[in-house]
Amino acid sequence: MTAQSERTLVIVKPDGYRRGLTGEVLRRIEAKGYVLAELKVATPDRERLAKHYAEHEGKPFYQPLLEFMSSGPATFAVVEGHRCIEGFRALAGATDPTAALPGTIRGDLGRDWGEKVQANIVHGSDSPESAEREIGIWFA
């Protein structure tokens, strides 16, 4: 990692993996000019998901979120590049895939399936502190 660089954790969630959208998401990350530093496929376990989503504990969508996230394989990537945290969040689009703008991953590829949780294809860290914390959870 260069001095100018930054790292973020990207997850192609189980809905994205099941729909065969992993390649499309990774393509957009690379087309933007970011680098894939680490990559793996794994089914997220409840213990690490609880750490990852600790900020949402107690919210109405928390249990459905853990249920959904542990429902099958996901792709984990450490993405690198100057301002990639903000940049990937822009590529991903708004949390609600129905409202997410066309041109974004969630806006182009996601929708509301009427479930209790937003199945919105991707996760991206929201700050340098979150990124290092989350990379530590999934790439320990």
Stretch that binds ligand DAT, among 1-9, 42-50, 76-84, 116-124 (CB under 6 A): 116-124
Is 89 labelled a binding residue?
yes
Instruction: Please identify which of the residues 52, 56, 82, 123 carries the catalytic annotation.
Output: 123
Stretch that binds ligand DAT, among 27-35, 42-50, 113-121, 132-140 (CB under 6 A): 113-121
CB 80, CB 86: distance < 8 Å: no
CB of 126 to ligand DAT, least distance (A): 6
Range 113-122 burial, b when 16+ CB lie within 10 A, else e: eeeebbbbbb
Binding to ligand DAT (CB under 6 A): which residues in 65-104? 65, 95
Query: 């504990």: which residue's tokens?
Result: 57
Is 7 labelled a binding residue?
no
Return the structure tokens found at 111: 């929708």
Question: Is residue 10 involved in binding ligand DAT (CB under 6 A)?
Answer: no
DSSP summary character for residue 43: P
Is 32 labelled a binding residue?
no
Q: Give the catalytic positions in this structure.
A: 123
Which residues bind to ligand DAT, rule: CB under 6 A?
A: 61, 65, 95, 117-118, 120, 123, 126
